[in-house]
Structure 1
Amino acid sequence: MYQPEVFALTDDGYRGPAPSWRPGAPALWLVDVDLTGEHARRIAPGTLDPAELGRADRLISAADRNCYTAAHVALRVLLGARQGVAPEAVRLTRERCPSCGGPHGRPATGGGIHFSLSHTRGIALLAFADVPVGVDVESVPEARIVSEIEGQLHPAESRELAELTAEQRPAAFARVWTRKEAYLKGEGTGLVGGLDREHVGTGPRPLPGPAGWAVTDVAVPAGYAAAVAVSTAGQPPAHDGDRRK
Protein backbone atom coordinates (compact mmCIF):
# COMPACT_ATOMS: atom_id res chain seq x y z
CA MET A 1 0.00 0.00 0.00
CA TYR A 2 1.36 3.41 -0.92
CA GLN A 3 1.53 6.18 1.70
CA PRO A 4 1.10 9.56 -0.04
CA GLU A 5 2.81 12.81 0.84
CA VAL A 6 0.50 15.45 2.33
CA PHE A 7 0.21 18.61 0.26
CA ALA A 8 0.05 21.81 2.31
CA LEU A 9 -0.19 25.46 1.30
CA THR A 10 0.60 28.27 3.70
CA ASP A 11 0.64 32.06 3.50
CA ASP A 12 4.19 31.67 2.15
CA GLY A 13 3.10 29.20 -0.53
CA TYR A 14 4.21 25.60 -1.01
CA ARG A 15 7.42 24.59 0.72
CA GLY A 16 7.33 20.82 0.26
CA PRO A 17 9.30 18.51 -2.06
CA ALA A 18 8.87 18.37 -5.82
CA PRO A 19 7.54 15.10 -7.25
CA SER A 20 10.34 12.55 -7.41
CA TRP A 21 10.11 8.86 -8.26
CA ARG A 22 12.01 5.72 -9.11
CA PRO A 23 11.50 4.24 -12.60
CA GLY A 24 8.07 2.65 -12.81
CA ALA A 25 7.00 3.78 -9.31
CA PRO A 26 4.59 6.68 -8.68
CA ALA A 27 4.89 9.64 -6.35
CA LEU A 28 1.60 10.44 -4.60
CA TRP A 29 0.20 13.51 -2.84
CA LEU A 30 -2.94 13.77 -0.72
CA VAL A 31 -4.76 17.12 -0.62
CA ASP A 32 -6.98 17.83 2.40
CA VAL A 33 -9.39 20.53 1.25
CA ASP A 34 -10.10 21.71 4.80
CA LEU A 35 -6.39 22.45 5.24
CA THR A 36 -5.58 23.92 1.83
CA GLY A 37 -8.89 25.22 0.49
CA GLU A 38 -8.66 28.81 1.72
CA HIS A 39 -5.12 29.32 0.44
CA ALA A 40 -5.96 27.61 -2.86
CA ARG A 41 -8.99 29.84 -3.44
CA ARG A 42 -6.90 32.92 -2.80
CA ILE A 43 -4.23 32.10 -5.37
CA ALA A 44 -6.47 30.34 -7.90
CA PRO A 45 -7.22 33.44 -10.08
CA GLY A 46 -3.52 33.88 -10.82
CA THR A 47 -2.69 30.18 -10.97
CA LEU A 48 -5.42 28.32 -12.88
CA ASP A 49 -6.12 28.88 -16.57
CA PRO A 50 -9.48 30.22 -17.86
CA ALA A 51 -10.81 26.74 -18.61
CA GLU A 52 -10.10 25.55 -15.06
CA LEU A 53 -11.59 28.67 -13.50
CA GLY A 54 -14.68 28.30 -15.68
CA ARG A 55 -15.10 24.66 -14.76
CA ALA A 56 -14.88 25.50 -11.05
CA ASP A 57 -17.45 28.29 -11.41
CA ARG A 58 -19.92 25.94 -13.10
CA LEU A 59 -19.94 23.52 -10.17
CA ILE A 60 -23.12 24.07 -8.18
CA SER A 61 -21.91 22.99 -4.74
CA ALA A 62 -19.44 25.20 -2.87
CA ALA A 63 -17.82 22.05 -1.46
CA ASP A 64 -17.28 20.70 -4.99
CA ARG A 65 -15.88 24.04 -6.16
CA ASN A 66 -13.46 24.15 -3.25
CA CYS A 67 -12.30 20.58 -3.87
CA TYR A 68 -11.80 21.12 -7.60
CA THR A 69 -9.90 24.36 -6.99
CA ALA A 70 -7.63 22.89 -4.31
CA ALA A 71 -6.89 19.83 -6.45
CA HIS A 72 -5.99 21.81 -9.56
CA VAL A 73 -3.93 24.39 -7.68
CA ALA A 74 -1.99 21.51 -6.08
CA LEU A 75 -1.50 19.88 -9.47
CA ARG A 76 -0.06 23.04 -11.00
CA VAL A 77 2.12 23.79 -7.98
CA LEU A 78 3.61 20.29 -7.96
CA LEU A 79 4.11 20.13 -11.72
CA GLY A 80 5.70 23.58 -11.63
CA ALA A 81 8.04 22.48 -8.84
CA ARG A 82 9.07 19.44 -10.88
CA GLN A 83 9.54 21.42 -14.10
CA GLY A 84 11.14 24.45 -12.47
CA VAL A 85 8.46 26.87 -13.69
CA ALA A 86 5.73 28.94 -12.07
CA PRO A 87 2.44 27.06 -11.52
CA GLU A 88 0.60 29.32 -13.95
CA ALA A 89 3.20 28.55 -16.66
CA VAL A 90 2.47 24.80 -16.62
CA ARG A 91 0.89 23.79 -19.93
CA LEU A 92 -1.81 21.13 -19.60
CA THR A 93 -3.07 19.17 -22.61
CA ARG A 94 -4.96 15.98 -23.41
CA GLU A 95 -3.63 12.93 -25.21
CA ARG A 96 -5.67 11.20 -27.89
CA CYS A 97 -8.25 8.74 -26.59
CA PRO A 98 -6.98 5.20 -27.37
CA SER A 99 -10.55 4.07 -28.07
CA CYS A 100 -11.83 6.72 -30.47
CA GLY A 101 -8.90 9.02 -31.18
CA GLY A 102 -10.69 12.04 -29.72
CA PRO A 103 -8.87 14.74 -27.70
CA HIS A 104 -10.06 13.44 -24.33
CA GLY A 105 -7.45 10.86 -23.35
CA ARG A 106 -5.04 11.07 -20.42
CA PRO A 107 -4.14 14.57 -19.20
CA ALA A 108 -0.56 15.42 -20.12
CA THR A 109 2.15 18.04 -19.87
CA GLY A 110 5.66 18.47 -21.23
CA GLY A 111 8.90 17.14 -19.81
CA GLY A 112 8.16 13.41 -19.79
CA ILE A 113 5.94 13.61 -16.70
CA HIS A 114 2.87 11.40 -16.51
CA PHE A 115 0.26 12.36 -13.93
CA SER A 116 -3.27 11.65 -12.79
CA LEU A 117 -5.67 13.50 -10.50
CA SER A 118 -8.80 12.41 -8.66
CA HIS A 119 -10.97 14.23 -6.17
CA THR A 120 -14.06 13.54 -4.17
CA ARG A 121 -15.70 15.83 -1.66
CA GLY A 122 -13.14 16.73 1.00
CA ILE A 123 -9.92 15.28 -0.43
CA ALA A 124 -7.94 14.90 -3.65
CA LEU A 125 -5.19 12.52 -4.70
CA LEU A 126 -2.46 13.18 -7.27
CA ALA A 127 0.00 10.74 -8.83
CA PHE A 128 3.15 11.44 -10.86
CA ALA A 129 5.42 8.94 -12.65
CA ASP A 130 7.74 8.44 -15.60
CA VAL A 131 5.22 6.02 -17.15
CA PRO A 132 1.44 6.17 -17.70
CA VAL A 133 -0.34 6.31 -14.34
CA GLY A 134 -3.92 6.52 -13.09
CA VAL A 135 -5.27 7.29 -9.65
CA ASP A 136 -8.71 7.29 -8.06
CA VAL A 137 -10.12 8.22 -4.65
CA GLU A 138 -13.74 7.81 -3.61
CA SER A 139 -15.91 8.06 -0.53
CA VAL A 140 -17.14 4.71 0.74
CA PRO A 141 -20.68 4.62 -0.70
CA GLU A 142 -24.03 3.89 0.89
CA ALA A 143 -25.33 0.34 0.64
CA ARG A 144 -28.02 1.52 -1.81
CA ILE A 145 -25.41 2.70 -4.31
CA VAL A 146 -23.51 -0.58 -4.04
CA SER A 147 -26.67 -2.49 -4.90
CA GLU A 148 -27.32 -0.29 -7.92
CA ILE A 149 -23.83 -0.58 -9.46
CA GLU A 150 -22.28 -3.89 -8.37
CA GLY A 151 -23.85 -5.72 -11.33
CA GLN A 152 -21.63 -3.70 -13.69
CA LEU A 153 -18.44 -5.22 -12.25
CA HIS A 154 -16.62 -8.32 -13.44
CA PRO A 155 -18.82 -11.35 -12.64
CA ALA A 156 -16.23 -12.70 -10.19
CA GLU A 157 -16.20 -9.38 -8.33
CA SER A 158 -19.98 -9.35 -8.13
CA ARG A 159 -19.88 -12.84 -6.64
CA GLU A 160 -17.23 -11.76 -4.11
CA LEU A 161 -19.44 -8.89 -2.96
CA ALA A 162 -22.47 -11.16 -2.70
CA GLU A 163 -20.58 -13.40 -0.25
CA LEU A 164 -19.91 -10.52 2.16
CA THR A 165 -22.12 -9.23 4.94
CA ALA A 166 -24.10 -6.03 4.40
CA GLU A 167 -21.67 -4.20 6.68
CA GLN A 168 -18.59 -5.37 4.74
CA ARG A 169 -19.90 -4.73 1.25
CA PRO A 170 -19.57 -0.89 0.95
CA ALA A 171 -15.84 -0.85 1.85
CA ALA A 172 -15.14 -3.80 -0.47
CA PHE A 173 -17.03 -2.10 -3.28
CA ALA A 174 -15.04 1.11 -2.78
CA ARG A 175 -11.80 -0.89 -3.01
CA VAL A 176 -12.68 -2.58 -6.28
CA TRP A 177 -14.16 0.58 -7.79
CA THR A 178 -11.05 2.69 -7.14
CA ARG A 179 -8.73 -0.06 -8.40
CA LYS A 180 -10.76 -0.43 -11.58
CA GLU A 181 -11.07 3.28 -12.24
CA ALA A 182 -7.37 3.95 -11.53
CA TYR A 183 -6.47 1.34 -14.16
CA LEU A 184 -8.97 2.68 -16.72
CA LYS A 185 -7.74 6.24 -16.18
CA GLY A 186 -4.16 5.09 -16.59
CA GLU A 187 -5.15 3.46 -19.87
CA GLY A 188 -6.74 6.71 -20.94
CA THR A 189 -10.20 5.25 -21.58
CA GLY A 190 -11.94 6.06 -18.30
CA LEU A 191 -15.19 4.33 -17.44
CA VAL A 192 -16.05 3.97 -21.10
CA GLY A 193 -13.55 1.11 -21.02
CA GLY A 194 -16.08 -0.95 -19.06
CA LEU A 195 -16.08 -2.05 -15.42
CA ASP A 196 -16.51 -5.73 -16.26
CA ARG A 197 -13.38 -6.10 -18.40
CA GLU A 198 -10.78 -6.96 -15.75
CA HIS A 199 -10.87 -8.80 -12.43
CA VAL A 200 -8.93 -6.75 -9.86
CA GLY A 201 -10.66 -8.15 -6.77
CA THR A 202 -12.61 -6.78 -3.82
CA GLY A 203 -10.38 -8.13 -1.03
CA PRO A 204 -7.88 -6.33 1.18
CA ARG A 205 -5.22 -6.64 -1.56
CA PRO A 206 -5.74 -6.20 -5.31
CA LEU A 207 -5.18 -9.20 -7.57
CA PRO A 208 -2.19 -9.21 -9.94
CA GLY A 209 -2.68 -7.44 -13.27
CA PRO A 210 -4.35 -6.40 -15.50
CA ALA A 211 -1.64 -7.37 -17.98
CA GLY A 212 0.88 -4.58 -18.33
CA TRP A 213 -0.26 -2.75 -15.19
CA ALA A 214 0.46 -2.79 -11.46
CA VAL A 215 -2.52 -1.80 -9.28
CA THR A 216 -1.89 -0.88 -5.64
CA ASP A 217 -4.10 0.54 -2.89
CA VAL A 218 -3.27 3.94 -1.39
CA ALA A 219 -3.56 4.88 2.29
CA VAL A 220 -6.27 7.54 2.75
CA PRO A 221 -8.39 8.71 5.71
CA ALA A 222 -11.20 6.57 7.10
CA GLY A 223 -14.35 6.73 5.02
CA TYR A 224 -12.44 6.81 1.71
CA ALA A 225 -10.73 4.30 -0.57
CA ALA A 226 -8.02 4.93 -3.15
CA ALA A 227 -5.80 3.11 -5.63
CA VAL A 228 -3.06 3.83 -8.16
CA ALA A 229 -2.30 1.97 -11.39
CA VAL A 230 1.10 2.19 -13.10
CA SER A 231 2.06 0.89 -16.52
CA THR A 232 4.65 -1.88 -16.29
CA ALA A 233 5.25 -2.22 -20.04
CA GLY A 234 9.01 -2.42 -20.48
CA GLN A 235 9.64 -1.63 -16.80
CA PRO A 236 11.39 -3.68 -14.11
CA PRO A 237 9.29 -4.66 -11.06
CA ALA A 238 8.88 -1.98 -8.39
CA HIS A 239 11.18 -2.25 -5.37
CA ASP A 240 9.72 -2.93 -1.93
CA GLY A 241 11.00 0.48 -0.85
CA ASP A 242 8.83 2.14 -3.49
CA ARG A 243 5.75 1.34 -1.41
CA ARG A 244 6.00 3.50 1.68
CA LYS A 245 4.05 1.59 4.32
Structure 2
Amino acid sequence: MIPLVPPPPAVLPAGPLIPTALPPLTTALPRLPGLHPARPQLWLVATEAHQDTVTRYAPLVLDAGELARAEEFRRSGDRATYLCAHVGLRRLLGAHLGVAPRTVSVARAPCPCCGEPHGRPVLADGHPHFSLSHCEGLSLVAVASTPVGVDIERVPAAHTVAEASEVLHPAEAAELAVLAPAHRPAAFARVWTRKEAYLKGLGIGLGADPSAEYVGAGPVPSAPPGWLLADVTVPDGHRAAVALRR
Protein backbone atom coordinates (compact mmCIF):
# COMPACT_ATOMS: atom_id res chain seq x y z
CA MET A 1 0.00 0.00 0.00
CA ILE A 2 1.51 3.33 -1.02
CA PRO A 3 0.52 6.97 -0.55
CA LEU A 4 -0.46 8.75 -3.75
CA VAL A 5 0.96 11.94 -5.12
CA PRO A 6 -1.21 14.98 -4.33
CA PRO A 7 -4.03 15.87 -6.72
CA PRO A 8 -3.61 19.08 -8.74
CA PRO A 9 -3.09 22.07 -6.39
CA ALA A 10 -5.61 24.09 -8.41
CA VAL A 11 -8.31 21.73 -7.21
CA LEU A 12 -7.14 20.69 -3.75
CA PRO A 13 -4.76 22.90 -1.75
CA ALA A 14 -1.13 21.82 -1.93
CA GLY A 15 0.42 20.02 1.02
CA PRO A 16 2.22 16.74 1.68
CA LEU A 17 0.43 13.46 2.02
CA ILE A 18 1.78 10.75 4.30
CA PRO A 19 5.39 10.46 3.03
CA THR A 20 6.08 6.77 3.65
CA ALA A 21 4.54 3.51 2.50
CA LEU A 22 2.73 1.31 4.97
CA PRO A 23 4.92 -1.38 6.52
CA PRO A 24 4.13 -5.06 5.83
CA LEU A 25 1.08 -6.58 7.47
CA THR A 26 3.34 -8.38 9.92
CA THR A 27 4.54 -5.02 11.29
CA ALA A 28 2.53 -2.83 13.65
CA LEU A 29 1.26 0.32 11.94
CA PRO A 30 2.06 3.47 13.93
CA ARG A 31 -0.65 6.02 14.60
CA LEU A 32 -1.01 8.24 11.55
CA PRO A 33 -0.76 12.04 11.67
CA GLY A 34 -3.82 14.27 11.90
CA LEU A 35 -5.91 15.12 8.87
CA HIS A 36 -5.76 18.41 7.01
CA PRO A 37 -9.31 19.84 6.70
CA ALA A 38 -8.95 20.53 2.98
CA ARG A 39 -6.93 17.49 1.86
CA PRO A 40 -7.74 13.80 2.14
CA GLN A 41 -5.06 11.17 2.62
CA LEU A 42 -5.08 8.89 -0.44
CA TRP A 43 -3.65 5.38 -0.59
CA LEU A 44 -3.36 2.93 -3.46
CA VAL A 45 -3.39 -0.83 -2.77
CA ALA A 46 -1.90 -3.12 -5.43
CA THR A 47 -3.43 -6.58 -5.10
CA GLU A 48 -0.44 -8.37 -6.60
CA ALA A 49 1.91 -6.94 -3.98
CA HIS A 50 -0.24 -7.90 -0.97
CA GLN A 51 -2.51 -10.81 -1.83
CA ASP A 52 -0.35 -13.62 -0.39
CA THR A 53 0.03 -11.90 2.99
CA VAL A 54 -3.58 -10.73 3.06
CA THR A 55 -4.91 -14.23 2.41
CA ARG A 56 -3.17 -15.39 5.58
CA TYR A 57 -4.09 -12.40 7.73
CA ALA A 58 -7.63 -11.59 6.58
CA PRO A 59 -9.29 -14.00 9.06
CA LEU A 60 -7.50 -12.15 11.88
CA VAL A 61 -8.48 -8.67 10.67
CA LEU A 62 -11.87 -8.78 8.92
CA ASP A 63 -15.26 -9.46 10.46
CA ALA A 64 -17.55 -12.34 9.57
CA GLY A 65 -19.59 -10.27 7.12
CA GLU A 66 -16.53 -9.18 5.15
CA LEU A 67 -15.16 -12.72 5.01
CA ALA A 68 -18.53 -14.03 3.80
CA ARG A 69 -18.71 -11.32 1.13
CA ALA A 70 -15.22 -12.26 -0.09
CA GLU A 71 -16.33 -15.87 -0.59
CA GLU A 72 -19.12 -14.71 -2.90
CA PHE A 73 -16.64 -13.63 -5.57
CA ARG A 74 -16.30 -16.35 -8.21
CA ARG A 75 -13.01 -15.10 -9.62
CA SER A 76 -9.98 -15.51 -7.38
CA GLY A 77 -8.56 -12.18 -8.57
CA ASP A 78 -11.70 -10.31 -7.56
CA ARG A 79 -11.67 -12.05 -4.18
CA ALA A 80 -8.03 -11.12 -3.60
CA THR A 81 -8.66 -7.49 -4.51
CA TYR A 82 -11.63 -7.30 -2.13
CA LEU A 83 -9.59 -8.78 0.73
CA CYS A 84 -6.64 -6.46 0.08
CA ALA A 85 -8.93 -3.43 -0.08
CA HIS A 86 -10.73 -4.17 3.18
CA VAL A 87 -7.65 -5.24 5.13
CA GLY A 88 -5.91 -2.07 3.93
CA LEU A 89 -8.88 0.08 4.94
CA ARG A 90 -9.02 -1.44 8.43
CA ARG A 91 -5.29 -0.94 8.92
CA LEU A 92 -5.53 2.72 7.98
CA LEU A 93 -8.58 3.37 10.14
CA GLY A 94 -7.02 1.50 13.05
CA ALA A 95 -3.89 3.63 12.71
CA HIS A 96 -5.95 6.84 12.80
CA LEU A 97 -7.95 5.64 15.81
CA GLY A 98 -5.01 4.08 17.63
CA VAL A 99 -6.71 0.67 17.84
CA ALA A 100 -6.16 -2.80 16.40
CA PRO A 101 -7.57 -3.13 12.85
CA ARG A 102 -9.83 -6.02 13.83
CA THR A 103 -11.59 -3.84 16.44
CA VAL A 104 -12.61 -1.12 13.98
CA SER A 105 -16.40 -1.07 13.79
CA VAL A 106 -17.94 0.14 10.53
CA ALA A 107 -21.66 0.91 10.15
CA ARG A 108 -23.86 2.60 7.56
CA ALA A 109 -25.08 6.18 7.81
CA PRO A 110 -28.74 6.98 7.02
CA CYS A 111 -29.40 7.33 3.32
CA PRO A 112 -29.86 11.04 2.41
CA CYS A 113 -32.77 10.08 0.15
CA CYS A 114 -34.86 7.73 2.29
CA GLY A 115 -33.31 7.74 5.77
CA GLU A 116 -32.73 3.97 5.76
CA PRO A 117 -29.34 2.69 7.07
CA HIS A 118 -27.69 2.06 3.72
CA GLY A 119 -25.82 5.35 3.20
CA ARG A 120 -22.06 5.82 3.21
CA PRO A 121 -19.93 3.58 5.48
CA VAL A 122 -19.07 5.39 8.74
CA LEU A 123 -17.29 4.77 12.02
CA ALA A 124 -19.18 4.70 15.32
CA ASP A 125 -18.45 8.34 16.19
CA GLY A 126 -18.44 9.50 12.56
CA HIS A 127 -14.73 10.42 12.39
CA PRO A 128 -12.58 10.18 10.45
CA HIS A 129 -14.54 9.99 7.22
CA PHE A 130 -13.39 7.48 4.64
CA SER A 131 -14.15 5.97 1.25
CA LEU A 132 -13.05 2.83 -0.58
CA SER A 133 -13.17 1.78 -4.22
CA HIS A 134 -11.64 -1.17 -6.02
CA CYS A 135 -11.44 -2.66 -9.47
CA GLU A 136 -9.53 -5.75 -10.55
CA GLY A 137 -5.97 -5.48 -9.22
CA LEU A 138 -6.18 -2.04 -7.58
CA SER A 139 -7.94 -0.37 -4.66
CA LEU A 140 -8.13 3.29 -3.68
CA VAL A 141 -8.69 4.41 -0.09
CA ALA A 142 -9.33 7.96 1.18
CA VAL A 143 -9.41 9.14 4.79
CA ALA A 144 -10.51 12.71 5.52
CA SER A 145 -11.86 15.08 8.15
CA THR A 146 -15.02 15.78 6.09
CA PRO A 147 -17.21 13.50 3.93
CA VAL A 148 -15.19 12.06 1.07
CA GLY A 149 -15.71 9.77 -1.89
CA VAL A 150 -13.30 7.98 -4.22
CA ASP A 151 -13.66 5.86 -7.32
CA ILE A 152 -11.17 3.93 -9.45
CA GLU A 153 -12.04 2.21 -12.72
CA ARG A 154 -10.36 0.52 -15.66
CA VAL A 155 -10.60 2.45 -18.92
CA PRO A 156 -13.48 0.69 -20.72
CA ALA A 157 -13.68 -0.69 -24.24
CA ALA A 158 -15.01 1.59 -26.97
CA HIS A 159 -18.33 -0.26 -27.28
CA THR A 160 -18.97 0.23 -23.55
CA VAL A 161 -18.61 3.99 -23.95
CA ALA A 162 -21.14 4.03 -26.78
CA GLU A 163 -23.63 2.04 -24.70
CA ALA A 164 -23.18 4.00 -21.46
CA SER A 165 -22.97 7.61 -22.66
CA GLU A 166 -26.70 8.08 -22.08
CA VAL A 167 -26.13 7.94 -18.30
CA LEU A 168 -23.99 11.09 -18.47
CA HIS A 169 -25.11 14.69 -18.18
CA PRO A 170 -26.03 16.01 -21.65
CA ALA A 171 -23.11 18.47 -21.59
CA GLU A 172 -20.69 15.66 -20.67
CA ALA A 173 -22.03 13.48 -23.49
CA ALA A 174 -21.51 16.40 -25.88
CA GLU A 175 -17.91 16.81 -24.67
CA LEU A 176 -17.23 13.14 -25.39
CA ALA A 177 -18.89 13.31 -28.79
CA VAL A 178 -16.44 15.90 -30.13
CA LEU A 179 -13.40 13.81 -29.20
CA ALA A 180 -11.66 11.44 -31.58
CA PRO A 181 -13.01 7.90 -31.05
CA ALA A 182 -9.67 6.69 -29.72
CA HIS A 183 -9.78 9.28 -26.91
CA ARG A 184 -13.33 8.67 -25.75
CA PRO A 185 -12.77 5.61 -23.48
CA ALA A 186 -10.23 7.41 -21.28
CA ALA A 187 -12.40 10.54 -21.15
CA PHE A 188 -15.45 8.48 -20.25
CA ALA A 189 -13.56 6.78 -17.41
CA ARG A 190 -12.42 10.21 -16.22
CA VAL A 191 -15.92 11.69 -16.05
CA TRP A 192 -17.43 8.51 -14.60
CA THR A 193 -14.93 8.28 -11.71
CA ARG A 194 -15.51 11.95 -10.89
CA LYS A 195 -19.26 11.40 -10.88
CA GLU A 196 -19.18 8.25 -8.77
CA ALA A 197 -16.69 9.73 -6.28
CA TYR A 198 -19.04 12.69 -5.76
CA LEU A 199 -22.14 10.50 -5.37
CA LYS A 200 -20.30 8.26 -2.89
CA GLY A 201 -19.24 11.34 -0.95
CA LEU A 202 -22.90 12.37 -0.73
CA GLY A 203 -23.71 8.91 0.57
CA ILE A 204 -26.16 8.25 -2.27
CA GLY A 205 -24.01 6.30 -4.71
CA LEU A 206 -25.64 5.10 -7.88
CA GLY A 207 -29.03 5.25 -6.21
CA ALA A 208 -29.13 8.76 -7.69
CA ASP A 209 -29.46 9.62 -11.38
CA PRO A 210 -25.84 10.00 -12.59
CA SER A 211 -26.96 12.21 -15.48
CA ALA A 212 -28.37 14.88 -13.17
CA GLU A 213 -25.07 16.41 -12.00
CA TYR A 214 -22.37 17.91 -14.24
CA VAL A 215 -18.75 17.15 -13.29
CA GLY A 216 -17.13 17.59 -16.71
CA ALA A 217 -15.36 15.26 -19.13
CA GLY A 218 -12.49 17.64 -19.90
CA PRO A 219 -9.03 17.87 -18.33
CA VAL A 220 -10.27 19.94 -15.35
CA PRO A 221 -13.21 18.65 -13.28
CA SER A 222 -16.21 20.83 -12.45
CA ALA A 223 -16.98 20.44 -8.75
CA PRO A 224 -20.61 20.68 -7.60
CA PRO A 225 -21.31 23.49 -5.09
CA GLY A 226 -19.80 22.83 -1.68
CA TRP A 227 -17.37 20.18 -2.93
CA LEU A 228 -13.77 19.86 -4.08
CA LEU A 229 -13.18 17.43 -6.94
CA ALA A 230 -9.86 16.15 -8.32
CA ASP A 231 -8.52 13.47 -10.60
CA VAL A 232 -6.04 11.09 -8.95
CA THR A 233 -2.88 9.81 -10.62
CA VAL A 234 -3.09 6.00 -10.92
CA PRO A 235 -1.42 3.39 -13.20
CA ASP A 236 -1.98 3.47 -16.96
CA GLY A 237 -5.20 1.90 -18.12
CA HIS A 238 -7.10 3.25 -15.11
CA ARG A 239 -8.71 6.51 -14.03
CA ALA A 240 -9.59 7.66 -10.51
CA ALA A 241 -11.06 10.65 -8.72
CA VAL A 242 -11.68 11.98 -5.23
CA ALA A 243 -14.50 14.26 -4.02
CA LEU A 244 -14.24 16.11 -0.69
CA ARG A 245 -16.93 18.23 0.98
CA ARG A 246 -15.72 21.71 1.84
State the TM-score, normalized to the length of structure 1: 0.89
Q: Give the equivalent residue in structure 2 for 1:97.
A: 111
- Seen in structure 2, the aligned counterparts of structure 1 residues 192 and 11 have a Cα distance that, compared at 3 Å, is closer
Cα drift, residue 80 of structure 1: 0.5
Deviations 1:94-126 (Å, cap 9, x if unpaired)?
Answer: 001001111110100135210000000000000
The structure with higher relative contact order (CA 8 Å, sep 6+) is 1
Q: Give the equivalent residue in structure 2 for 1:67.
A: 81
Residue segments in structure 1 that go unaligned for 5+ positions in a row: 233-245
Cα drift, residue 151 of structure 1: 1.0
Q: Give the equivalent residue in structure 2 for 1:25.
A: 39
Cα drift, residue 15 of structure 1: 4.6
Worse-matched range after superposition: 16-25 or 65-74: 16-25
Q: Give the equivalent residue in structure 2 for 1:77.
A: 91
Worse-matched range after superposition: 117-126 or 13-22: 13-22
Deviations 1:7-60 (Å, cap 9, x if unpaired)?
Answer: 555263365772642113211100000111111111000100000000000111
Tell me, yes or no, if structure 1 residue 13 matches structure 2 residue 18: no
RMSD (CA atoms): 1.8
8 Å CA contact 1:182–1:227 kept in 2: the answer is yes
Deviations 1:165-216 (Å, cap 9, x if unpaired)?
Answer: 1110000000000000000000000011111111111111112x20111111
- Seen in structure 2, the aligned counterparts of structure 1 residues 178 and 30 have a Cα distance that, compared at 3 Å, is same
Using the alignment, how far apart are the partners of 1:197 and 1:167 within structure 2? 26
Cα drift, residue 160 of structure 1: 0.5
Tell me, yes or no, if structure 1 residue 107 matches structure 2 residue 111: no
Tell me, yes or no, if structure 1 residue 128 matches structure 2 residue 143: yes
Which runs of structure 1 show a deviation greater than 6 angstroms over 4 or more consecutive aligned residues?
A: 3-6
Using the alignment, how far apart are the partners of 1:116 and 1:177 within structure 2? 16
Give the number of equivalent residue pairs: 231
Q: Percent sequence identity over matched residues?
A: 48
Give the secondary structure class of the aligned counterpart of 2:141. strand
Deviations 1:125-159 (Å, cap 9, x if unpaired)?
Answer: 00011110000000000001111111110000000
Residue segments in structure 2 that go unaligned for 5+ positions in a row: 1-5, 9-16
8 Å CA contact 1:19–1:27 kept in 2: the answer is no
Tell me, yes or no, if structure 1 residue 142 matches structure 2 residue 184: no
Using the alignment, how far apart are the partners of 1:64 and 1:48 within structure 2? 17
Give the secondary structure class of the aligned counterpart of 2:181. coil
